[in-house]
Every structure is written in structure tokens, then in C-alpha cells.
Structure 1
């Protein structure tokens, strides 16, 4: 497995880590190559303390000759692998993974979990980089043996690109069910933040494509309907300061708490403290392809949900919550007020939410479907094995000789 993110400092790298752990529980041997952030780029606290037991983790490199060095490492790691899987079409990872797989004659599976083009257009530093991502997002699915997709919108994109339906497999985000207990009430968190009364919680990264400001506007409206309610934003990022200022301007004061970054291992305890959980989104090219991690963790925690209707959200929430029109603070506020006013409804939704996670949205279920993609990839790969596999042997031998100083000019 290859992933272009730092699994210790980037919250969105939860997906590859949890999938690697699920594969290991199924009895597979897994190696995860990741791209660590340089120390100067580590602007926020570490969000993952450790990696799951049994997963072999190898750090790649950033800067300088990173593509060559990471390709060398991936070729070395992939010699004994049955399949190479990578996530995201971003240049450093996708190009290295596809070329390494071709050199080794191995099947390659692309895990497509976001509309990378729309994200690059909005958040990447240069137009050139955005153009490269645009080209790769259309090329990479055609080069791979199989692909896994996290949403129906991404499946539709793959089909339009000409990927055969039989080579596309669904792989939504999931949750580790054993880490979430619907019967827990998060008393330590409530004491820590001095919360007495109903708690409405929003969780997410406060950077990039986040909608914390929409939650604040909804909280301000809901607070007028329910003066006894408290609100919390769990997460950190470059927009945290702006959101604190916005909360003060809205007059939320001590009724709104910010946790800043919390280790992913502590997320279940925070969710356990909540009476209602919220997922706010606007509808755009990015969110229409989303399979949001926060939704599945809300489900696993057995917390009634109020969520904006974008992308996969309605299908994910199912009967475990209320889905409202996107980009509407008023709709979120009304949904929150409805749930806070009805203890029986909240209890019913809590049971249904947890069942939704147990039936569909957990990492073990997603991993099982990915293994089907790998099995198909082995079938496709055997038919498409390239003579470049021989080159891998000579390249690897040459690198070993070079490192040992045995190469003579």
C-alpha cells in the first residue's frame, strides 16, 4: 500500500491505516509506504500516536530526488507482494506506484476516495499542479488493473473514463466498531469542559474543505431555540482562529467549546459525550463525491445525526438521523432542535445509527470488498503482465551493487 500523506500528522490518512489494519486482521501481510511531512511542514500536533499492530510501516522521502528514491523503495517492497495498491492520484504517489507495478509486473489497484481535481483547483499552490492532477485523475484509472471508489459519483466518473464495470469496486469509509460504545456517555469529557445539559457536537478538520462556519451559524440559531444547549467543535486546523473569532461575534460565548486537535484514538470519547452530532456541508464538486469519515464514526458511536444532504451522506445516514438541505444553517438548527426536544426519537435513531455501521459502514466490510478488487486485479494482472518484470530484477540487483560499492565504472 502506498499513500502520499503523513499517517501521523494528517487526519485524512485514517483511511489507509485502518484498511491496512483490517487486511492484517483478515490474515494478509501488509506493508504501508507513506510520505512523511518534513519537520518544517509539521504545523499542527501529531494526530496519530501509533499504527496498528501487525502493519509494517515504511517512511518514504520528501524533497530532492523523492520520486526516484520512493520508486526504489516501492520496487524493493513490492518484489514479494501480490498486488500494489495506492490511494489518491497525486503525482508523487500515483506515478511512482503505477510505474513500480509495471516494472515488477504486478497488478495495481487505485483507491479513489476524493475528487482530487476540485480540491487541487481550490487549495493547491499553482495552476500547473492543478492541471497535472486534472490529467492524472483522468489517466490513472485507465492504467490500473482495478479501482475502488468511495462514492457513487466517483464510480460514475470511472465508467465515463472507460473503466469496465467489472473492474470497479465500492469501498466507502468505515469505522472500527470495537472502539465505539453507544452506551458510553463521555462523562470525563463533560467534566473537562464543564458541560451540563444537552451537547451538540461537530467534528472535522478546520482547514481546506471544512464547513465549521456553517455549524457556528446553526449553533447560534439553535441556541435561541434551546437556551440550555451547549455546542462543541472537535478538531483543529488553520481556520481555528477564525472560527473562534466568529463564535465571539455570534455571541455564543461559553456555550461553545473548541477542543483543537485531538488524537484519533480519543475521538470515541468525545462523541460519547454528545447528545446530537452534526455534519454540515455545501454542495459543490468536492462534496458530491464525498464519503465523509465523520458520518461513519457518528454512526458507530450510536449518536443521532443531523447532516447536510450531499454526496453519499443520505445513503450513509440511512434511518440513523435527519438529512437536510445543504448549506443551510437554518435547516441544521431546526433538525438539532427537533432531536433535542424528543428523547424517544434520539434513542431510536441511536440504535439505528449503530446498526447502520455494523451492517455496512465499518472498515472490515470495506476491506472485504477491497480484497475482491485485489482478486480481480490478480486475474487482470496475469493477463497483462509486462516483460518489464525482468527489468525489476536487474534494477534491484544494480541498486544493491551500487549501495554496496561493488559497481565498477
Structure 2
């Protein structure tokens, strides 16, 4: 299927499975889909339908064929996820039959359940690529605070089965790669680092709009999902301390995004007396996102220290850097790997220190500009999607028997 130059010599068919976001809204999956299409693959994606976008059951976009199914998001704790994942598996199996024979099944987690569907496809000759977006055991510990109970042992078992079934593992960073090598028992030549990286051409500066600051000198911005482990509550408490203990009320803050805890975070902002200074937009079009990020003075990356966040690469960090914006983060291992000097780091989960670092950046426009330039240079260079694309193609070469090289950061 591949010639000696690493080019596609004949078409093969890839089936990408993703459960937790619709496509193309899932930027990582969409970038991977386009990269594989450009390499000569026929790409099919099975994913849930979105609620306000990506709503069509079937779509072909830029040559990628997308098959979507209806899915109700989990509520009510772990049992709600069992219901959600059961429905997702049923729909995915149904749509996979429609796609027919494939050469590669590319499964994105969570959940670590797609090996159940990949088995039948592998028996018909397909290779299995496991694209590990999350460490699900760490996600379980961080999200539910139930300790290493029976369900934790179940998710560990499912992760082991997924690793065992995979011909190749794609890790989002070096920390995840080490888990695949140790906990997963994979060989170095089977594990490739394909970092999530923004398409820098999507993130372009637009003229600042002072009106977005709502009459204040400065604008603070949060971009991302609002789930239990994403730290929006930490950010809000830090902003309350910025006002009350640091003595700064010369800012307006905007929180862009949605998620399971969106309504709870709006209520928390009211309880903290922040309703007049904090704005929640929900999900917004890219054009509006660029307006906010171009105007923002400091961006917030409040993901708290926990077993998952410490080793995960946050999309918001990469996107802030793509927009040349300085940020404040808690001290997390992979946050430092990604942002380097483009961020200031508060000790883990210390909201007052987080607030003080925000104030420090507000007072230093030269430092803000320096940090922003460093971030933009990193995502345009060593952390660029072009490098990740090369690693992705190498992973596919290895999966189908080529001489791919292990890619690290």
C-alpha cells in the first residue's frame, strides 16, 4: 500500500471511531482525518451528532465521510456513563457495518471500549490504531473522587485490553507514551507521539475591541470545556480573591465554552459576587472567539493538579499560544512541557497565588508581549501540527508493516 518514499501507492480505507465529540468539531480528530486524506486514504468517521452543529446523520466534508448517531450525554455519575457508552457502542457497530471492510480502524478514547468492535474488523485484516486522548483510569479518579473501587478496576482492565489489541498506539504527549510503554506493555516502535496542535492559520489576530472589556482596563479570558476536572471553579474563586484580597477590580473576565458544569459555574459566579464582572458565552463561532482572544490581556488555564491533568496536554494552552497570549496555569508537568515560558505557574491548586500571578501580568505589558511571542513561536515551530502530522503518517506506516520511526516530542 505504501511505496519506498512513504506515499500512498493505492487507496486504503480508514475508519475513525470517536465518542465524546462530534466531527469536525473535534479539532484533533478533524486534523487527523484531513492529514490521512492528504496521504491518500479514504477516510470515514463515526461519531455522535452535535446539538447545535454537526447535526446531520451523514455528511461528506472536504472528502471525509462522516457518519453520525444520536447520543444523550451521561448524567447521574458512573452509571450514566455506562448507559451512554452502551448506546454509543450499539450505534457505532451499526454504522461500521454500513461502512464495510476497512484497512485500519482508528479508535479514539474515551471510552476504552472500541477494542470490542475492532476485534471483528481485525479478523478481516484491519489494523487497530489506538489514539489515546485520555488516560481513563486517571480520568475516573479525577472526575468521580471514588478512589480505586470496583469501577476503577474495571476501567483499568478495559485499558489493558485496548493496549493489548492495538497494533500501534498514538499518544498525545511523552507522559502518555510512557504509560503505554509501562502500564500498556507496548514496545517503543509501537508507540508514537502525535501532539494536539492548533492549525496556526485558524488562529489569526483581529483588531482589538475595547468594548469587550465592558469599561474595564483589562480583559481576562478562559477558553475550553467546563467539566468537573477543568478547573473553572478554581478560576472563579481565584478571581474573587483577585478582587477581595489582591485588591484588583480593574478587569472583566469572559469564559468561552460549555460542558457538564456550565450552569453550576454560572451559579458559582453569582454566589461569589462576580456576576457583573464575569461573562459566560457558551460555545461561540470561531469569528467571535478570535475577537475575544485578540482583545484578551491574560488567559486562564486553571486545570487543577490531579492524576489526569498533571500528565495531559490541554488544548486551551496550545490555543492561547497560537494567539500569542500569555497565561497563568497551575504547576502541571505537561503544562510546562507545552507552554514553557509562555505561562506563569502557581503552586498546585493555590488560588491566591494564581490571582497574584494574574495581577503581576496585568501590571507588566512588556512581559505579556514577551510571553505571547514565545508561545506563538512554539506552536509555529517545535509544537506545530506539521510535526504531529509527520508522526501520524509514521504511525500508520508502522501499523501496516512499514518502517516507521517512533516519534517523540
Pick the TM interval, shorter chain. 0.7 to 0.9
User: In structure 2, how many angstroms separate the alpha carbons of the residues matched to 1:73 and 1:149?
Assistant: 26
User: In structure 2, how many angstroms separate the alpha carbons of the residues matched to 1:36 and 1:28?
Assistant: 24
User: Per-residue deviation at 1:285?
Assistant: 1.6
Match of 2:19 in 1: 4
Query: Is residue 300–residue 354 contact of structure 1 (8 Å, CA) maintained in 2?
Result: yes
Pair 159,213 (structure 1): closer, same or farther in 2 beyond 3 Å: same
User: In structure 2, how many angstroms separate the alpha carbons of the residues matched to 1:105 and 1:303?
Assistant: 47
Query: After superposition, where does 1:184-333 map in structure 2 within 5 Å?
Result: 184-187=206-209, 191=211, 194-223=214-243, 224-263=246-285, 266-333=288-355
Q: Is 1:169 the counterpart of 2:192 in the alignment?
A: yes
User: In structure 2, how many angstroms separate the alpha carbons of the residues matched to 1:352 and 1:282?
Assistant: 24
**What is the CA deviation profile of residues 15-69 of structure 1, one whole-angstrom value per residue up to 9, with x for unaligned ones?**
21232133334554322122447xxxx5xx4489998522221225768887466
Match of 1:119 in 2: 139
CA radius of gyration, larger in? 1
User: Per-residue deviation at 1:123?
Assistant: 5.2
Query: Is residue 113–residue 162 contact of structure 2 (8 Å, CA) maintained in 1?
Result: no
Match of 1:29 among 21, 38, 42: 42
User: In structure 1, how many angstroms separate the alpha carbons of the residues matched to 2:273 and 2:88?
Assistant: 49
Pair 61,259 (structure 1): closer, same or farther in 2 beyond 3 Å: closer
**What is the CA deviation profile of residues 117-139 of structure 1, one whole-angstrom value per residue up to 9, with x for unaligned ones?**
23345658x97765443211112
User: In structure 1, how many angstroms separate the alpha carbons of the residues matched to 2:90 and 2:362?
Assistant: 56
User: In structure 2, how many angstroms separate the alpha carbons of the residues matched to 1:166 and 1:356?
Assistant: 26
Pair 345,91 (structure 1): closer, same or farther in 2 beyond 3 Å: closer
User: In structure 2, how many angstroms separate the alpha carbons of the residues matched to 1:76 and 1:241?
Assistant: 38
Q: Is 1:349 the counterpart of 2:371 in the alignment?
A: yes
User: In structure 2, how many angstroms separate the alpha carbons of the residues matched to 1:32 and 1:325?
Assistant: 40
Greater percentage in helix = 1
Match of 1:74 among 81, 96, 99: 96
Greater percentage in strand = 2
User: In structure 2, how many angstroms separate the alpha carbons of the residues matched to 1:121 and 1:94?
Assistant: 22
> What is the number of residues matched between the two proteins?
368
**What is the CA deviation profile of residues 338-372 of structure 1, one whole-angstrom value per residue up to 9, with x for unaligned ones?**
11111111111111111111113343332221111
Pair 162,299 (structure 1): closer, same or farther in 2 beyond 3 Å: same
Normalization by structure 2: what TM-score? 0.79
> RMSD across aligned C-alpha pairs, in angstroms?
3.1
| 3-state secondary structure, aligned to 1:114 | coil
Pair 271,86 (structure 1): closer, same or farther in 2 beyond 3 Å: same
User: In structure 2, how many angstroms separate the alpha carbons of the residues matched to 1:78 and 1:299?
Assistant: 41
Query: Is residue 151–residue 311 contact of structure 1 (8 Å, CA) maintained in 2?
Result: no
Query: Is residue 34–residue 60 contact of structure 1 (8 Å, CA) maintained in 2?
Result: yes
User: In structure 1, how many angstroms separate the alpha carbons of the residues matched to 2:156 and 2:331?
Assistant: 26
Match of 2:75 in 1: none
Query: Is residue 148–residue 169 contact of structure 1 (8 Å, CA) maintained in 2?
Result: yes
Query: Is residue 153–residue 288 contact of structure 1 (8 Å, CA) maintained in 2?
Result: no
Pair 25,371 (structure 1): closer, same or farther in 2 beyond 3 Å: same
Query: Is residue 46–residue 68 contact of structure 2 (8 Å, CA) maintained in 1?
Result: yes
User: In structure 1, how many angstroms separate the alpha carbons of the residues matched to 2:335 and 2:142?
Assistant: 22
| 3-state secondary structure, aligned to 2:401 | helix
Higher relative contact order (CA 8 A, sep 6+): 1
Query: Is residue 306–residue 336 contact of structure 1 (8 Å, CA) maintained in 2?
Result: yes
Normalization by structure 1: what TM-score? 0.79
The range that moved more, 115-124 or 276-285, is 115-124
Match of 1:83 among 82, 104, 120: 104
User: In structure 1, how many angstroms separate the alpha carbons of the residues matched to 2:212 and 2:54?
Assistant: 20
**What is the CA deviation profile of residues 75-119 of structure 1, one whole-angstrom value per residue up to 9, with x for unaligned ones?**
55363x4422111152553321x2143122122110112111233
The range that moved more, 196-205 or 257-266, is 257-266
Query: Is residue 29–residue 55 contact of structure 1 (8 Å, CA) maintained in 2?
Result: yes
